[in-house]
Structure formats: C-alpha cells, structure tokens
Chain A
Amino acid sequence: MKQVSIPCGADLTQIYRQEVGDYPKFFKMDVLSRLGILLTERLVAGEEGRFQPREDRAVLVFSREGCLANDRHYVESMKDFPSPALFVYTLPNIVSGEISIRNKYAGETSAFVLEKYDEEAIFALVRQAFQDPVTQSAVVIWSDCASDTEWDARGWLVEREEL
C-alpha cells in the first residue's frame, strides 16, 4: 500500500506550488484541509482516470485533536466579528469533503477522533469501512495538528485486495 507524509512545519505553500499549482481554493483552506489535499495529491498524482467522478473510493480521516487548531481561529474571530469562512472549517470532517470535491470522490467520507495515534486501531476501522461493497479503495489520512505549524500528517492509499 502506498504511504506518504508531510514533515512537521514544512512550507505547505511551496509544496502546493511544486506539486499542485492549479487549485487556488487551496489558499482559503485551513491547515487540516491543506494537509489533506497535499497528502492526497502525493497518493494519487498521475493515477489513471484521475478526476473522473467515482463512488468506489472512500476518504477516511483520523486525528487526536480534531479541528481544534482551526477552532482557535474561530474563537479569536468571535471577539470581533464571527467569521463564517472560519466557522465552516470547525468540523473535523471538512478535510474529507475538500478531498472529495478536489478529486470528485462521491464515495463514503468519514472522520474519526482517537485517543492517540494507533495504527492498529486506524486500520481496524479502515478494514471495517470496506464492509460497504461499493468501496474498492480508500484514501486514509492521519492529520493531527497542534497549531498551524505543528502537525503529524501521514496518508495511505488502500486497495480492497491489500487488506
């Protein structure tokens, strides 16, 4: 199974310019969604049939902190004027939606929060997601952000036959 990561504190804008370049929506996203988009790019770039709408690929995102890094920005905005643009990113599953929109994945998307990074627990949940007979592959993301510059970000592309 293909595995990728993004080093903590890496310059995400630079990675975007080098590896994506044509998706300016990237700049309105929070750090979790930026990491998710870039991890997915590293997993599926060059794949045959890329951007063809498909229902057979799930997007499963995991973390410990959820979206607390972005919650902090929204709390700051509440002191002045609550920002709808920030509020919509205060959900742990938005990253899975952004990945789906960018890549036209109309399959299952789910977001899980675990007490700690635990590969065994993550892959137990991933295997269970394949109980859906439509799902043939899954983009799996562990993206745990303490802040906009501190994270643990890893991704896997899992095919049904690899389980």
Chain B
Amino acid sequence: MRRVGIAGVGLVTPLGNSPAGVLASVRAGKSALALHPVFPEPYYASLLPREEVSEPFFEQVSLEAARLAVKDAGIDPADPSTGFVLSSIKGDIQHFGQNDVSLAYSAGRIARSLGVQTSPVVVSNACISGLAALVQGMRMIRAGQFKRVIVVGTELQSPFIVTGFQSLKALSVEPCKPFDAHRVGLNLGEASAALVLQADEGEWELVEGAIRNDANHISGPSRTGEGSYNALRAVLPHCDKKDLAFVNVHGTATVYNDEMEAIALNRAGLLDVPVNALKGYFGHTMGAAGILESILSMQALEAGVVLATRGFSELGVSAPVKVSAQEQPAVGNSFIKLLSGFGGVNGALLFRKGGSL
C-alpha cells in the first residue's frame, strides 16, 4: 500500500495566513479570542477580519487556503489524478434562505475555481470533520484513486451556530481554559486550513488514522472515553511510544469533553506523554480544527517544541494528564491529533516526521 506524505500547507486564520507567522504568534502567546458584545448576547470568539469581504466568504477563504497549499506543494490541481476533499460542518449556512447553502454546492464551486477536474467529496463528521477528511484523503491515495488530494477545512461563525451553542449552554463568557480546574466552556472560532497529501513523497507522513463511535449519546461525551480510547488503540500499534512527542487533544474546555479525553488518554496508557490543546489561540474552529491544529502541531515539532496550552493553569480532570502549560522541548518525531464531536464520533491520527518518504 502507498505511503501518504504531506506536500503543502495553507492557512487563513485570525492570527494571519503565513504558517511561520502564525506559529510565531502562538509561541508568543497571542490569541485571536476577543469579546463580541453585540449579537445575540456577548461571547468570546476568534473571528476572521471582514473589512473587504467578497461573497460568498465561505468559498473565498476556502479557496485562499487551498491556493496557498497548492502553491506550497507546487502541484497542478487540474492534473486528473488530483482529488479534492472539503471538511466543514455548517459551510455557508449564514446565507440560508438566500442561496444554495448545501455543502455539495460550495464544494463544487471551490473545487472548480481551483481547477480540480475530479468530483469533490465533503466530509461532515461534526467536530472531527477535519481529521476525518485527512483520513479520507489518506485512504484515497492508498487505494490508488488519486496521486494527490487537496484537503481543505473551513468554518465560519454565524447566528445559526452561535445561538445553537448558546442554547446548549456550551459557550464560555471568558477565554477558554482547556483541561483547567476552572474551565467553563468553549469559544467558537473561524479559520480555513488546507493540506496537500501526496503519494510516497513529503517530509511528513500520515501514518494511520481511526474513527470510532461512543455508541452512547448524540451530544454528550462518553463517561468512559470509549470511542476516543478505541481510536487511540487503533493507531498506537503504528507508533513507537518513545518517538511520540505529544498528543494534541481536542481540549474544547467544556467540563465533559476534557474529562472524557483525560479518561481515554489514561486508558490508552498515555499519562506520561505531553498533551496540549490549541483552542486558547484559535477557539473551536469546528470543520477546520483537525487540519489547523495538525498544521500547527507539525510546525511546532519542526521547531522542536511542544506548544503551550493557552488558558491552562491548574489541572481539572480526574487523570493526571501531562498538560503542557508552558512551551517545552519536544522529544520524538511523531504526534497524535485527537478529536471528538457530536454524534458520539471520535478520531485519532498519527503523524510522523521522517525525512523524505
């Protein structure tokens, strides 16, 4: 079976669009989280600037991130062996009632604007969408369907999503505190993040990924961390634990998510591995999170560090997880990206830096 490498990255974030610049901002402790006092009640979120918005904004930011990744990879999207996968939960929902806001319609427009000749696939698997889209791209290459796959994850915030999370009482009225004893909820975020996956080439390899369901509740995490643990259990045999530099967790800073992840990490025997969460910099970027947080994790490991968990100060979960409160040197060349979402879905994806494949 073919190995799957990473050929290019692209970012559009409230902390900027240059991967090196975004990493520098994160390492300096900057956050794009800000209080948005007006609609519908005050909430903290990390939102993209909208001074010169051309509509539909969802397509524009997705295209920008994809084009940056394509340029970085130096590929021609019109090559017929190029696939396209979009990850988003709500897409262009802010224009509901005005336009065709289906994810299928947006994906088709983005793919064709890029010049992609093949049919787009949208992965919309709640908050693990970005990770699941990377797993899908990996499978397409392994199956020989495509030589390379452009994977783009994008989420924009709108009254639809903000009121929904407010109705669930999941939003924090202050900057989020992943894994902290005083965490009170999540912050929403906007971003677009793209990776170009390629067969048998790249400094980074997508080694193995798994998706597992809790089979427990559609909007509450499992009390036993079942799905998250099972996803970890599926990827860990592909990893030399001594080479595992960190686990980049979901870390939404809701009481139940972080506790569930701690239980899963404990069951998977990962209490001695550094853990970090990046929601304190970007908020929860939903369909972009799996890709955005993977890119930041790759860059951090290239710089030889485990990024700090902004917002964390005092451990507030039942298992003694090794949360990286401050930036620290990284030991090893691999990391695991972990995510969980509504519908009881969980995902784990193992990345390895290993020189050229």
Residues of A at under 8 Å CB distance from B? 53, 55, 59, 64-66, 68, 71-72, 74-75, 78, 82-84, 87-88, 90-94, 96-98, 100-101, 103-116, 118, 121, 124-125, 127-129, 131-132, 134
- Output the nearest chain B residue to A64 by Cβ-Cβ distance: B104
Check A106–B145 contact: CB distance below 8 A: no
B 103-147 to A, binary, CB cutoff 8 A, 1 in contact else 0: 111011000000000011111111000001000100110110100
How many A-B pairs fall under 8 Å by CB?
A: 162
Give A54 Cβ to nearest chain B Cβ, in Å: 9
**Which residues of chain A have C-beta atoms less than 8 A from B108's C-beta?**
115
B139 touches A94 (CB 8 A): no
Residue numbers of B with Cβ under 8 A of A are: 1, 89-90, 93, 96-97, 101-105, 107-108, 119-126, 132, 136, 139-140, 142-143, 145, 159-160, 163-168, 210-219, 226-227, 230, 234, 341-345
| Chain B neighbourhood of A113, CB < 8 A | 102-104, 107, 121-122, 124
Question: What residues of chain B lie closer than 8 Å to A132, measured between beta carbons?
Answer: 210-211, 234
Q: Note all chain B residues with C-beta closer than 8 A to A129.
A: 139
Find chain B residues with CB under 8 A from A100 CB: 213-215, 344
B343/A115 in contact, CB under 8 A: no
In Å, the complex CA distance between A128 and B2 comes to 13
Considering only CB atoms, which chain B residue lies closest to A68 in the complex?
Answer: B102
- Please, how many angstroms separate the alpha-carbon atoms of A37 and B317 in the complex? 35
- Contact A97:B142 (CB < 8 A) given known A87-B164, A113-B122: no
Q: How far is the CA of A65 from the CA of B122 in the complex (A)?
A: 11
Evaluate contact between B124 and A93: CB separation under 8 angstroms.
yes
Give Cα A112 to B211, complex, Å: 14
Q: Are A131 and B143 in contact (CB under 8 A)?
A: yes
Contacts of B215 in A (CB 8 A): 53, 100-101, 103-106
Taking CB atoms, residues of chain B closer than 8 Å to A93 are 124-126, 341-343, 345
Alpha-carbon gap, A69 to B33, bound state (A):
32
Nearest chain A CB to B220 CB, angstrom units: 10
Q: Which residue of the partner chain B has the closest CB to A101?
A: B215
CB A109 to nearest CB in B, in angstroms, measures 4
Partner of A112, one of B122, B159, B166, B218: B122
Asked if A66 contacts B124 (CB within 8 A), the reply is yes
Residues of B within 8 A of A110 (CB): 123, 125, 132, 136, 211, 345
Q: How far is the CA of A115 from the CA of B218 in the complex (A)?
A: 26
* B164 x A125 contact (CB < 8 A): no
